Amino acid sequence: MTIYSVITGTGNYIPTKVIKNEDFLSYDFFEKEGVRITKDNAEVISKFQEITTIAERRYVTKELVTSDIAAFSADAAIKSAGIDKEELDYVIVAHNFGDVTDENKQLDIVPSLAARVKQKLKIKNPYAVAYDVPFGCPGWLQAMIHADYFIKSGDAKKVLIIGADVLSRVCDPHDRDSMIYADGAGAVILEAKESEMPIGILAHKTRSDTYEYANMLFMGKSYNNTNGCVGNPYLKMNGRKLYQYALETVPAAIQACLEKSNTNLSEIKKILIHQANGKMDDAIIERLYKLYDLPILEGVMPMTIEYLGNSSVATIPTLLDLILQGKVEGHALNKGDKIVFASVGAGMNINAAVYSM
């Protein structure tokens, strides 16, 4: 019998505040040089939706911070798994901006968000080790990889892994790219399970292309240089270069992970990819299937970005939970299905995992 890392519970928190594309019609958008965009906002927004497929996204309400929604999703995952929270060996929280409040853009990560979540969950066990993983959008999947190592080394039996971000508070209201970002949280319980047949996490692969691409996502000033912005509190990206980087590297990274697990792409039922940009994800999948000279499997890539936006580390665990709850139309996961998790983001970092349900 072999020990495998198996997801036994999932949960999510989708914020209640719906922000539609038309809500941006009154915004003043600027180019990065500080020049006001002269195109009509309706045209800007229409082009944005054509490129990204995003029609709406979710923002948290004023009283909530990232550790709050992380705890909400974690509580749901614990209940889903039916475990005693005091038996957890690790509480790992992937995020990027800490508890940024509605009134203050300052990063707040002391104590760690994992420590705050553990307290909010009222876990008393001092040996439930709580720590954060800031790894860009691939953070939740990297935290899963950490947990897999802990489990397979014998160091852990039950791990809570959360991905949560509140990106609405680090968005520059004068940067049209900010329409991509959303808020949300997703969580899973990963447990050690003995099995004669391979189950759970079969293999994973990570790469960090920092030498050339470290600064494709960065913190910068508002594009409106007359609004009194102090410091660099806003998330910025080089969208075109990032798009090209993802197309050139993500398919090969997924292929490397599949090869590591001795799995052919033809065996994969679903690809749960980070919901960064709908058209970009479509192009990644197209290139991946070309590597295998295979037609794209219909319905292989469930998407939620059209109505949830890009919630960074929360996109994959939220998508997984929604599918398992039967809330993504036309998509289901069954015992024995092999799936791929994949993500790309700030760093630049890419990771992938092959998982057997």
**The predicted structure's pLDDT at residue 33:** 86
With a cut of 60, say whether residue 77 has pLDDT above it: yes
The whole-angstrom separation of Cα 25 and Cα 45 is 8
- Give the span between the Cα atoms of 130 and 93, in whole angstroms: 8
Measure the CA–CA gap between 254 and 340, rounded to whole angstroms. 8
The contacts of residue 162 (CB under 8 Å, 6+ apart) are 70, 73, 74, 77, 91, 92, 93, 94, 114, 117, 140, 143, 185, 186, 187, 317
Give CA–CA dist 141/205, Å, rounded: 10
What is the rounded average pLDDT of the residues 6-14? 98
Q: Is the pLDDT of residue 301 over 80?
A: yes
pLDDT above 60 for 230: no
Output the pLDDT for position 283. 96
User: Phi/psi of residue 283, each to 5°?
Assistant: -70, -35
N-term to C-term CA, the chain: 18
pLDDT at 231: 60
**For residue 280, what are its two tokens?**
């970009």
Q: Where are the domains of the chain?
A: 2-195, 200-356
Residue appearing with tokens 């292929």:
255
Task: Spell out the CATH class of 2-195.
Answer: alpha beta
Residues in the chain: 357
pLDDT number for residue 228: 54
Query: Following DSSP, what letter does each residue of 218-264 receive, concatenated?
Result: EEE--S-TTS---S--EEEE-HHHHHHHHHHHHHHHHHHHHHHTT--
Beta-carbon contacts of residue 160 (< 8 Å; ≥ 6 apart): 74, 77, 78, 85, 88, 90, 91, 92, 187, 188, 189
Mean pLDDT (the chain, rounded)? 95
What CATH number labels 200-356?
3.40.47.10
Residue 189 has which token pair? 């319980």
Q: What is the arithmetic mean of pLDDT over 103-116?
A: 92
- Cβ 51 vs Cβ 277: under 8 Å: yes
Q: Is the pLDDT of residue 225 over 90?
A: no
pTM: 0.96
pLDDT band for position 229 (50/70/90)?
Answer: low
Span of 45-49, 80-84, 253-257, 268-272 with lowest mean pLDDT: 45-49
| pLDDT value at residue 227 | 59
Whether the predicted pLDDT of 282 surpasses 70: yes
Over residues 344-357, the pLDDT tens digits come to 999 999 999 999 99
- One DSSP character per residue, 13-46 reads E--SEEEEGGGGTT---B-TTSPBP-S-HHHHHH
Query: Which pLDDT band holds residue 54 (cuts at 50, 70, 90)?
Result: very high
Q: What is the tens place of the pLDDT at every residue in 318-334?
A: 999 999 999 999 999 99
* Cα–Cα distance measured from residue 56 to residue 274, given in angstroms and rounded to the nearest whole number: 17
Q: What is the mean pLDDT of residues 114-143?
A: 98
* Cis amide prior to 295 (ω within 30 degrees): no
Q: Do domains 2-195 and 200-356 have the same CATH topology?
A: yes
Alpha helices in 136-188 (DSSP H): 139-153
pLDDT, mean of residues 223-236 = 75
Please determine, for residue 145, whether its predicted confidence score (pLDDT) is greater than 90: yes
Query: For residues 103 and 64, what is the distance between their CA atoms, to the nearest angstrom?
Result: 11
Task: Write out the two tokens for 93.
Answer: 């929280």
The CA distance from 113 to 93, in Å, is: 7
